[in-house]
Amino acid sequence: MNKPLIEINELGKVFHRDTVEIRALDGIDLSIHAGEFVCLMGPSGSGKSTLLNIIAGIDYATEGEAVVLDTDLSSLNEDGQATWRNQHVGFVFQHFNLIPVLTAFENVELPLLLTSLSRKERREHVETALRVVRLTDRMEHYPRQLSGGQEQRVAIARAIVTDPTFILADEPTGDLDAESAREVLEVLSTLNSEFGKTIIMVTHDPRAAEFASVTYHLDKGLLTKTVLNGSHS
């Protein structure tokens, strides 16, 4: 098998709240390969979002290591992590997190502002991304003029516009009705199957997990179960 895209060894994360020590992750070992659609499931407080954040380089582990794309993220400084995220990571959040004063086009264009692309090239990239999520007709609409499902598809377009190595989605269907959720999951599934994007998705929803090729269950910071294509391992 190829070298994993993401390799996590003995990963631990401890939070301190006043004098209380909270262990969010404890000895996690995990390998994710290019092209996988990974689902992280577990109850609230199980550590799945913390694990996602560490893989994304927006949080840090207190124990063990997370090597992503051959880079030990803890070796990068804050600016280095920011640049790394811009180049390799596409984010999809539960609450969409679009900038309300920007149009769909401008929201999608945001990550490209950090690149050296010309205005024309940026426009081409944005239009392509919006075409993938089937929202080219909503380019000039503001988030308040879009439905929840459309907002999340704009967020997905923003996540893929830089052609990142992998997409991280934190409860992407958490704020959506069933129909919109299905649309969003289909888009993610297409990105995985047709464009070969590696996707790591945190969710509570078992129906969402069905779109993934592998599901990791976490509980109280521990990796408790791995499910491959519906069969237990």
Partner 1 sequence: MKFLRLLLKNLLRNKRRSLLTVSSIAVSLFLVATLETVLTELNNPPETPDSALRLITRHKISLFNALPIAHRDKIAGIDGVEGVVGSMWFGGIYKEPSNFFANFAVNADGFFNVYPDLIISEEEKTAFLEDRTGALVGKSLTERFDWKLGDKIFLESNTWPVEVEVTIRGIYEGGSDLGTTLYLHWEYYQEVMAAAMGQWGFAGTFSVRAQSSEEVLRIAKEIDALFENSSFPTKTETEKAFLLSFVAMLGDIQFFITSIITVVIFTIILVAANTMAMSIRERVREIGVLKALGFKSTQVLAMLVGEAVLLALAGAMIGSLGARVIFSALPMAQLTSGFIQRFYVTPTTLLLCAGIGLLVGLVSAGVPAWTAARRPVVESLRRVA
Residue ranges that bind partner 1, judged by CB under 8 A? 53, 56, 58-59, 78-79, 82-83, 85-87, 91, 93, 97, 99-102, 106, 110-111, 113-114, 119, 158
DSSP string, 69-131: TTEEGGGS-HHHHHHHHHHHEEEE-TT----TTS-HHHHHHGGGGGS---HHHHHHHHHHHHH
Q: How far is CA 219 from CA 28, 38, 134, 169, 216, in A?
A: 11, 17, 37, 19, 10
Closer residue to partner 1 in complex, CB, 110/222? 110
Q: Where are the beta strands (DSSP E) in 171-221?
A: 198-203, 214-219
Task: Please answer whether residues 57 and 73 qualify as being in contact, where contact means their C-beta atoms are separated by less than 8 angstroms.
Answer: yes
- We find the least distance from the C-beta atom of residue 232 to partner 1, in angstroms, to be 32
Closer residue to partner 1 in complex, CB, 86/136? 86
- We find the least distance from the C-beta atom of residue 106 to partner 1, in angstroms, to be 7
- We find the least distance from the C-beta atom of residue 215 to partner 1, in angstroms, to be 24
Closer residue to partner 1 in complex, CB, 14/102? 102
Q: How far is CA 114 from CA 71, 85, 161, in A?
A: 21, 11, 12
User: Rounded to an integer, what distance in angstroms lies between the CA atom of residue 223 and that of residue 35?
Assistant: 22
- We find the least distance from the C-beta atom of residue 73 to partner 1, in angstroms, to be 13
Tokens of 42: 């577990």
Closer residue to partner 1 in complex, CB, 124/186? 124
Tokens of 189: 């599934």
35 torsion bin: left (phi>0), alpha (psi -120 to 50), beta (else) = left
Closer residue to partner 1 in complex, CB, 58/69? 58
- 148-160 helix and 178-193 helix, angle to the nearest 10 degrees: 20
- We find the least distance from the C-beta atom of residue 82 to partner 1, in angstroms, to be 5
- We find the least distance from the C-beta atom of residue 213 to partner 1, in angstroms, to be 25
Tokens of 119: 């205005």
Closer residue to partner 1 in complex, CB, 34/82? 82
